[in-house]
Amino acid sequence: MIKIEKYIIAELYIKVYLTKNIPQKDVNIKIGNLVDKSFLHNEKYSQFHHENRYKMYTFNQLYPLETADKIYKKGKIYTFVIRTIDKNLSQYFFKYLTNEYTDSIKILTIERKTIPRKHIEKIYSITPVVIKSEKGYWKNNISLEQYENRLKTNLIKKFNQFNNTKIDENFELFTFIKFDNRKPIATNYKSICLLGDKLTLNIAENEIAQELAYLALGTGISEMNSRGMGFVNYKWL
Protein backbone atom coordinates (compact mmCIF):
# COMPACT_ATOMS: atom_id res chain seq x y z
CA MET A 1 0.00 0.00 0.00
CA ILE A 2 1.37 3.41 -0.97
CA LYS A 3 2.09 5.80 1.87
CA ILE A 4 0.19 8.99 1.02
CA GLU A 5 0.07 12.26 2.91
CA LYS A 6 -3.63 13.09 2.69
CA TYR A 7 -3.33 16.75 1.80
CA ILE A 8 -5.99 18.96 0.27
CA ILE A 9 -4.87 21.45 -2.34
CA ALA A 10 -5.24 25.08 -1.30
CA GLU A 11 -6.14 27.74 -3.87
CA LEU A 12 -5.51 31.40 -3.16
CA TYR A 13 -7.38 33.81 -5.43
CA ILE A 14 -5.31 36.99 -5.33
CA LYS A 15 -6.72 40.29 -6.60
CA VAL A 16 -4.06 42.82 -7.61
CA TYR A 17 -3.75 46.41 -8.83
CA LEU A 18 -1.07 47.23 -11.41
CA THR A 19 1.05 50.34 -10.96
CA LYS A 20 2.89 49.74 -14.26
CA ASN A 21 2.10 48.13 -17.61
CA ILE A 22 3.29 44.50 -17.81
CA PRO A 23 3.83 42.66 -21.13
CA GLN A 24 2.36 39.16 -21.15
CA LYS A 25 5.81 37.58 -21.54
CA ASP A 26 6.91 39.21 -18.26
CA VAL A 27 3.87 38.39 -16.10
CA ASN A 28 5.44 35.26 -14.62
CA ILE A 29 8.55 37.25 -13.63
CA LYS A 30 6.53 40.00 -11.97
CA ILE A 31 4.30 37.60 -10.03
CA GLY A 32 7.34 35.53 -9.07
CA ASN A 33 9.06 38.65 -7.70
CA LEU A 34 5.97 39.45 -5.67
CA VAL A 35 5.83 35.96 -4.15
CA ASP A 36 9.59 35.94 -3.54
CA LYS A 37 9.34 39.22 -1.61
CA SER A 38 6.81 37.68 0.77
CA PHE A 39 9.38 35.06 1.83
CA LEU A 40 11.61 37.79 3.28
CA HIS A 41 9.22 38.29 6.21
CA ASN A 42 10.31 35.04 7.84
CA GLU A 43 13.77 33.51 8.28
CA LYS A 44 12.54 29.94 7.76
CA TYR A 45 10.83 30.77 4.49
CA SER A 46 13.66 33.00 3.36
CA GLN A 47 15.87 29.90 3.58
CA PHE A 48 13.14 27.81 1.93
CA HIS A 49 13.13 30.23 -1.00
CA HIS A 50 16.83 29.62 -1.65
CA GLU A 51 16.78 25.84 -1.22
CA ASN A 52 17.38 23.71 -4.31
CA ARG A 53 14.27 21.53 -4.00
CA TYR A 54 10.71 21.33 -5.27
CA LYS A 55 8.73 24.16 -3.69
CA MET A 56 5.31 22.49 -3.96
CA TYR A 57 3.46 25.56 -5.20
CA THR A 58 2.51 26.96 -8.58
CA PHE A 59 0.70 29.99 -9.98
CA ASN A 60 -1.03 31.02 -13.18
CA GLN A 61 -1.03 34.35 -15.03
CA LEU A 62 -3.15 37.46 -14.64
CA TYR A 63 -6.74 37.43 -15.80
CA PRO A 64 -8.91 38.63 -17.41
CA LEU A 65 -6.53 38.06 -20.31
CA GLU A 66 -5.32 40.94 -22.46
CA THR A 67 -5.65 39.22 -25.82
CA ALA A 68 -5.57 42.27 -28.10
CA ASP A 69 -2.13 43.77 -27.44
CA LYS A 70 -0.95 41.32 -24.74
CA ILE A 71 -0.20 44.17 -22.33
CA TYR A 72 -1.61 44.17 -18.79
CA LYS A 73 -2.53 47.75 -18.01
CA LYS A 74 -1.41 50.15 -15.31
CA GLY A 75 -4.39 51.20 -13.19
CA LYS A 76 -6.43 48.03 -13.81
CA ILE A 77 -7.35 45.22 -11.43
CA TYR A 78 -6.56 41.59 -12.24
CA THR A 79 -6.54 38.24 -10.46
CA PHE A 80 -4.09 35.35 -10.31
CA VAL A 81 -4.17 32.03 -8.45
CA ILE A 82 -1.55 30.33 -6.30
CA ARG A 83 -1.99 26.64 -5.51
CA THR A 84 -0.04 24.46 -3.09
CA ILE A 85 -0.23 21.01 -1.50
CA ASP A 86 1.62 22.32 1.57
CA LYS A 87 -0.83 23.42 4.28
CA ASN A 88 1.78 25.44 6.18
CA LEU A 89 2.84 27.24 3.02
CA SER A 90 -0.75 28.13 2.13
CA GLN A 91 -1.20 29.61 5.60
CA TYR A 92 2.04 31.54 5.21
CA PHE A 93 0.95 32.98 1.86
CA PHE A 94 -2.46 33.94 3.26
CA LYS A 95 -0.78 35.85 6.08
CA TYR A 96 2.25 37.42 4.43
CA LEU A 97 1.10 38.01 0.85
CA THR A 98 -1.78 40.15 2.08
CA ASN A 99 -0.90 43.80 1.27
CA GLU A 100 2.40 42.75 -0.36
CA TYR A 101 3.60 44.91 -3.25
CA THR A 102 6.41 45.51 -5.74
CA ASP A 103 7.15 48.38 -8.10
CA SER A 104 4.50 47.07 -10.53
CA ILE A 105 1.92 45.04 -8.53
CA LYS A 106 -0.05 45.74 -5.34
CA ILE A 107 -2.10 42.97 -3.72
CA LEU A 108 -5.63 44.03 -2.75
CA THR A 109 -7.38 40.92 -1.42
CA ILE A 110 -6.85 37.16 -1.02
CA GLU A 111 -9.62 34.56 -1.02
CA ARG A 112 -8.80 31.01 0.07
CA LYS A 113 -10.49 27.88 -1.38
CA THR A 114 -9.68 24.18 -1.75
CA ILE A 115 -9.83 21.62 -4.56
CA PRO A 116 -11.64 18.44 -3.45
CA ARG A 117 -10.40 14.97 -4.33
CA LYS A 118 -12.41 13.53 -7.24
CA HIS A 119 -11.63 11.19 -10.13
CA ILE A 120 -9.67 13.19 -12.72
CA GLU A 121 -10.26 12.53 -16.41
CA LYS A 122 -7.67 14.95 -17.77
CA ILE A 123 -5.40 17.83 -16.86
CA TYR A 124 -4.43 20.65 -19.20
CA SER A 125 -1.84 23.38 -18.90
CA ILE A 126 -2.80 27.03 -18.49
CA THR A 127 0.78 28.31 -18.53
CA PRO A 128 3.53 26.87 -20.76
CA VAL A 129 5.11 23.57 -19.77
CA VAL A 130 8.90 23.94 -19.83
CA ILE A 131 11.53 21.22 -19.98
CA LYS A 132 14.98 22.73 -19.60
CA SER A 133 17.78 21.64 -21.87
CA GLU A 134 21.29 22.96 -22.31
CA LYS A 135 20.68 22.86 -26.06
CA GLY A 136 17.35 24.73 -26.03
CA TYR A 137 13.83 23.69 -26.95
CA TRP A 138 13.18 19.99 -26.35
CA LYS A 139 11.93 19.11 -29.86
CA ASN A 140 15.39 19.62 -31.25
CA ASN A 141 17.06 17.48 -28.60
CA ILE A 142 14.96 14.60 -27.21
CA SER A 143 12.31 12.19 -28.47
CA LEU A 144 8.61 12.37 -27.62
CA GLU A 145 9.04 9.22 -25.52
CA GLN A 146 11.81 10.89 -23.53
CA TYR A 147 9.66 14.01 -23.13
CA GLU A 148 6.74 11.97 -21.79
CA ASN A 149 9.08 10.14 -19.41
CA ARG A 150 10.40 13.41 -18.03
CA LEU A 151 6.86 14.60 -17.31
CA LYS A 152 6.19 11.39 -15.38
CA THR A 153 9.53 11.33 -13.57
CA ASN A 154 9.13 14.94 -12.46
CA LEU A 155 5.78 14.23 -10.77
CA ILE A 156 7.15 11.06 -9.15
CA LYS A 157 10.07 13.03 -7.66
CA LYS A 158 7.68 15.64 -6.24
CA PHE A 159 5.49 12.89 -4.76
CA ASN A 160 8.50 11.13 -3.23
CA GLN A 161 9.88 14.35 -1.75
CA PHE A 162 6.57 15.40 -0.21
CA ASN A 163 5.74 11.95 1.18
CA ASN A 164 9.33 11.01 2.08
CA THR A 165 8.97 7.75 0.20
CA LYS A 166 10.00 6.01 -3.03
CA ILE A 167 7.23 4.55 -5.15
CA ASP A 168 7.40 1.85 -7.80
CA GLU A 169 7.66 3.73 -11.10
CA ASN A 170 6.21 0.92 -13.20
CA PHE A 171 2.73 2.29 -13.84
CA GLU A 172 0.84 4.17 -16.55
CA LEU A 173 0.37 7.87 -15.74
CA PHE A 174 -1.50 9.11 -18.80
CA THR A 175 -3.14 7.35 -21.73
CA PHE A 176 -2.96 10.20 -24.22
CA ILE A 177 -0.98 13.43 -24.68
CA LYS A 178 -2.00 16.31 -26.92
CA PHE A 179 -0.05 19.47 -27.74
CA ASP A 180 -2.48 22.38 -27.81
CA ASN A 181 -0.11 24.88 -29.45
CA ARG A 182 1.07 24.89 -33.06
CA LYS A 183 4.40 26.58 -32.29
CA PRO A 184 6.47 26.99 -29.11
CA ILE A 185 5.24 29.58 -26.61
CA ALA A 186 7.87 32.11 -25.51
CA THR A 187 8.16 33.30 -21.90
CA ASN A 188 10.84 35.57 -20.46
CA TYR A 189 12.93 34.39 -17.51
CA LYS A 190 15.80 36.53 -16.23
CA SER A 191 17.89 37.30 -19.32
CA ILE A 192 16.66 34.43 -21.51
CA CYS A 193 13.55 33.46 -23.44
CA LEU A 194 12.12 30.05 -22.55
CA LEU A 195 10.10 28.02 -25.03
CA GLY A 196 7.28 25.82 -23.75
CA ASP A 197 4.08 24.06 -24.75
CA LYS A 198 0.42 23.81 -23.76
CA LEU A 199 -0.52 20.19 -23.06
CA THR A 200 -3.59 18.07 -22.38
CA LEU A 201 -2.99 14.76 -20.60
CA ASN A 202 -5.67 12.07 -20.26
CA ILE A 203 -5.04 10.47 -16.87
CA ALA A 204 -4.91 6.70 -16.40
CA GLU A 205 -7.40 4.95 -14.10
CA ASN A 206 -4.98 3.44 -11.58
CA GLU A 207 -4.61 4.75 -8.02
CA ILE A 208 -1.14 6.26 -8.26
CA ALA A 209 -1.88 7.99 -11.59
CA GLN A 210 -4.91 9.62 -10.00
CA GLU A 211 -2.83 10.61 -6.96
CA LEU A 212 -0.12 12.20 -9.10
CA ALA A 213 -2.69 14.03 -11.23
CA TYR A 214 -4.18 15.54 -8.08
CA LEU A 215 -0.71 16.46 -6.85
CA ALA A 216 -0.03 18.16 -10.20
CA LEU A 217 -2.91 20.57 -9.59
CA GLY A 218 -1.06 21.91 -6.56
CA THR A 219 2.54 21.70 -7.76
CA GLY A 220 2.34 22.16 -11.53
CA ILE A 221 3.83 19.76 -14.08
CA SER A 222 7.38 19.63 -15.36
CA GLU A 223 9.84 22.32 -14.28
CA MET A 224 9.97 25.90 -12.98
CA ASN A 225 6.53 25.76 -11.37
CA SER A 226 7.47 28.35 -8.73
CA ARG A 227 8.26 30.64 -11.69
CA GLY A 228 4.74 30.28 -13.11
CA MET A 229 5.34 27.42 -15.54
CA GLY A 230 3.25 24.26 -15.90
CA PHE A 231 0.14 25.43 -14.02
CA VAL A 232 -2.67 23.00 -14.89
CA ASN A 233 -6.44 22.88 -14.66
CA TYR A 234 -8.55 19.74 -14.62
CA LYS A 235 -11.67 17.97 -15.82
CA TRP A 236 -13.34 15.55 -13.45
CA LEU A 237 -14.84 12.33 -14.76
CATH code for the domain of 163? 3.30.70.1900
Q: Which of 83, 115, 147 is the last residue of a domain?
A: 115
Nearest to 98 by CA among 18, 41, 32: 41
Residue 185 lies in a domain: yes
How many domains does the chain fold into?
2
Given this model, what pLDDT does residue 4 score?
Answer: 59
Same domain, 156 and 229: yes
Residue 1 lies in a domain: no
Same domain, 20 and 57: yes
pLDDT digits (tens, 9 = 90+) for 6-23: 789 999 999 999 999 999
Same domain, 111 and 145: no
Residue 4 lies in a domain: no
75 CB burial (10 A radius; 0-12, 13-18, 19+) = exposed
Given this model, what pLDDT does residue 1 score?
Answer: 44
Residue 3 lies in a domain: no
- What pTM value is reported for the model? 0.94
Q: What is the 8-class DSSP label of residue 154?
A: H
Same domain, 52 and 68: yes
Q: Which of 115, 138, 171 is the last residue of a domain?
A: 115
Given this model, what pLDDT does residue 2 score?
Answer: 54
Q: Which of 115, 136, 170 is the last residue of a domain?
A: 115
Mean pLDDT of 162-169: 92
Nearest to 196 by CA among 210, 212, 208, 179: 179
| Residue 141 contacts residue 132 (beta carbons within 8 Å) | no
Is pLDDT above 70 for 110?
A: yes
| Residue 83 contacts residue 115 (beta carbons within 8 Å) | yes
Mean pLDDT of 48-70: 95
Residue 36 lies in a domain: yes
